[in-house]
Amino acid sequence: MTDDIAEHAAGSRSGRRNDPERRERIISACLDVIAESGVAGASHRRIAAAAGVPLGSMTYHFAGIDELLREAFTRFATTISARFEERMAAASDAESARAAVVAIIVEDVAHGTRDLVLAHELYTLATREPGYRALTTAWMQRSRAALERHFDPQTARLLDAMIEGISIHRALDDDPRDLAEVVDAVERITRSA
C-alpha cells in the first residue's frame, strides 16, 4: 500500500519498466498519425512522439513498421466492423435496419473524417498488397453477414457497396449533403428486390 502511494507520488517514473498498455498506446498513436498524415507520414519517430514513448521502444514492441501498420489496421477494421454489427444487431426489422444503415453513413461524417481517411488508407494498401486484402475481405464479409440478418444476400452485397460509395462521395463533396439523399439510396437498393 505504501508502495502504491509512493508510486503515484513518483508519477510515471516507476511505471517506466512495466507498461503493459504501451503496445496498445502505440497502436492508437499509429492510427492517429495515419489519420493525420497518411501511411506515408507514419514514421517511427512521429508515432513514438505521438504515443509519448522513446524511439527505441517502437522496434522493441513491433518487429518493424510493417507489423505495426498491420496491427493498427487490423484493430481499425475490427473496431469498425464491430460497431457495424452492433448496430445491425440492434435493429429489429428491415425498417429499423434501413434506419441503422442511414445512421452509419451519416455518422461517419460526424466522426470527423477520421474513419473514412483510415478506410481509404487501408483500401489503398489493400489494392496493392494481398496481405492487407485479407483485412478488407474479412471486413466486407462481416458487414454483409450483418446485413443479411435483415436482407437477402444479393441485397446485402449491393447495400454494402452503396454504403461504401456514398460514404466516399459525401466525404469528397464540399457541400454538406442532405440526409434525404442517403435515405433514398437505401430505399432504392432495398425496395427493388
Task: Among 54, 160, 179, 183, indicate the residue that binds a second copy (CB under 8 A).
Answer: 160
Q: State the greatest distance between any 2 C-alpha atoms of the chain, in Å, as a whole number.
A: 69
Cell numbers that stand for 181 in this block:
439523399
Task: Among 120, 145, 148, 183, indicate the residue that binds a second copy (CB under 8 A).
Answer: 120
Residue type, 33: V
Q: Does 68 interact with a second copy (rule: CB under 8 A)?
A: no
Helix (H, G, I), strand (E, B), or coil: what is residue 112? coil
Task: Among 124, 131, 149, 179, indicate the residue that binds a second copy (CB under 8 A).
Answer: 124
Task: Among 48, 81, 121, 146, indicate the residue that binds a second copy (CB under 8 A).
Answer: 121
CA distance 181 to 61: 46
CA distance 43 to 29: 11
Task: Among 123, 145, 148, 183, indicate the residue that binds a second copy (CB under 8 A).
Answer: 123
Q: Does 192 interact with a second copy (rule: CB under 8 A)?
A: yes
CA distance 42 to 35: 9
Q: Does 39 interact with a second copy (rule: CB under 8 A)?
A: yes
CB atoms within 10 A of CB 31: 23
Cβ proximity to DNA, 41 vs 112, nearer residue: 41
* In the complex, least distance from residue 6 CB atom to a second copy, rounded to whole angstroms: 26
CA distance 113 to 119: 10
**Radius of gyration of the chain, Cα coordinates, nearest whole angstrom:** 20
CA distance 69 to 135: 12
Task: Among 8, 111, 128, 149, indicate the residue that binds a second copy (CB under 8 A).
Answer: 128
* In the complex, least distance from residue 123 CB atom to a second copy, rounded to whole angstroms: 5
Cβ proximity to DNA, 25 vs 83, nearer residue: 25
Contact in structure between 15 and 21 (CB atoms under 8 Å): no
Q: Does 168 interact with a second copy (rule: CB under 8 A)?
A: yes
Q: Give contact residues for a second copy (rule: CB under 8 A).
A: 36-40, 113, 116-117, 120-121, 123-128, 133, 136-137, 140, 154, 157-158, 160-166, 168-169, 171-174, 181, 184-185, 187-189, 191-192
